[in-house]
Structure 1
């Protein structure tokens, strides 16, 4: 994992962690790069499904997602180890500068020792990827999925017609362009409309209720929302099929 921690002290014995904290900021920026990499891998996997590309290529994206998830877990543990070490030293206020590198390594190894092979599957982006990939396969009626859910032989146009109502945002009553899914209740809305609604409620110190009729979710938060890539692709695909040539 990332390199050597360092610190300095002045004549009064105060330990400065400015250099370490600056490095931590860089590490957190790298975590955002990992997140972007997972988004790209997801998008490529979805493209492969849409174009019916050979299955082995799709699996390579699945492997890339696992590697990203493992990397994110390891980096999170390292950041946590460094932050924990800094907090401990600040509380103890030792007269001599301790071996920070050794302390961080001990805490990092302790966190890593608790890992299991299935931990990466708890990564939120990885979970979303697997779920949306499964939904996209069903949408495109891949044979294996049809046999599994009993939809073999069902007319694809009929499936699209039945689900077309899901293209409409419950707030704007217009077809969505950038659908956002609520992780809590599963309902979907136009991104700009739902973000504006939640922010307006928060400014007024009120809870935002899901605008879908009949939904009981009464405390929506921006952190509940995720991009619904599968629905966005379904809407675009439907537009292409229905547009006059």
Structure 2
């Protein structure tokens, strides 16, 4: 009985340590968010693309830390559950058991899997969207020709217009279901009004098939908002 009691205490101590590990996850998330903001600032200010590439490497390092931390937490949780389910006759070496489980998880890792990290994917998507809105070529980041720049500006101005208000957006949000963007206040009011009428809210973009929108489908379109800000500054400079 005494040995089993000690085992329970040891398991409890390990479980308590999980909260500290999970706090580290929040720090990693914050680091990735800050790195994304800095990268967007660099693109917006026309900095050397190499600097942005370096931040992409930083994001992959964060993704690796996040993956390793998640796997270690998972190894700890699995070990504790196993010990509780089948209590051994002697006090187990929990660290050794956790290390064995963790090592098994690590052997399945690949560098390619890091690029599937949610925040890394968001990082790439926001950079791609911002470059597109600013008329920066996606495949080659060399300076675009004057004709290409004119076309990009014309397309961007069209993209800046809310399909509801027909005015340039200030706080754009994107519909995760179809990718269309709207002014936040306008689309939220439209959805609320339709729901109060017991009706589905259709995407107001002409030709869109999404017929049942909810506010949960909306996410801030950071890249578009930055592109709008750049366009405004450029317009003020030319005046």
Normalization by structure 2: what TM-score? 0.75
Query: 1:129: how far off?
Result: 1.5
Distance 1:15 1:63 in 2: 42
Higher percent of residues as helix: 2
The answer to whether the aligner puts 1:68 opposite 2:81 as a matched pair is: no
Q: Deviations along 1:122-165, whole A, 9 cap, x unmatched?
A: 011112222322333343344674689xx744353543333334
The match for 1:4 is: none
Q: 1:116 to 1:147 in 2, by over 3 A?
A: closer
For 1:79, the equivalent position in structure 2 comes to 73
CA distance in 1: counterparts of 2:83 and 2:188, whole angstroms: 41
8 Å CA contact retained: 2:131, 2:137: no
CA distance in 2, matches of 1:19, 1:201: 52
Shift of 1:103: 1.4
- The match for 2:157 is 164
| Residues 33 and 192 of structure 1: CA distance in aligned 2, closer, same or farther (over 3 Å) | farther
Q: Cα gap change, 1:74/1:141 in structure 2, threshold over 3 Å: closer, same or farther? A: same
Q: For 1:119 and 1:90, how far apart are their aligned partners in 2?
A: 32
The runs of 5 or more residues in structure 1 that have no matched partner are 1-7
Task: Name the structure 2 match of 1:37.
Answer: 31
The number of residues matched between the two structures is 235
CA contact (8 A) 1:207 1:219 kept: yes
Q: Could you tell me how far 1:86 is from its partner in structure 2?
A: 1.9
SS at 1:114 equivalent? coil
- Superposition map of 1:44-193 within 5 A: 44-142=38-136, 145=139, 152-154=145-147, 156-169=149-162, 175-190=168-183
Other structure's SS at 2:147 match: coil
For the Cα contact (< 8 Å) 2:39–2:55, is it kept in 1? yes
* Counterpart-to-counterpart distance in 2, 1:61 and 1:228: 20
* 1:240 matches 2:206: no
Which 10-residue stretch deviates more, 191-200 or 214-223? 191-200
1:230 maps to which of 213, 216, 223: 223
Contact 1:146–1:152 (CA under 8 A) maintained in structure 2? no
1:188-203 matched pairs, under 5 angstroms: 188-190=181-183
Structure 2 stretches of 5 or more lacking a match?
Answer: none
* Deviation of 1:207 (Å): 8.5
- DSSP 3-state at the match of 1:215: coil
Separation in structure 1 between the aligned mates of residue 23 and residue 100 of structure 2, nearest angstrom: 24
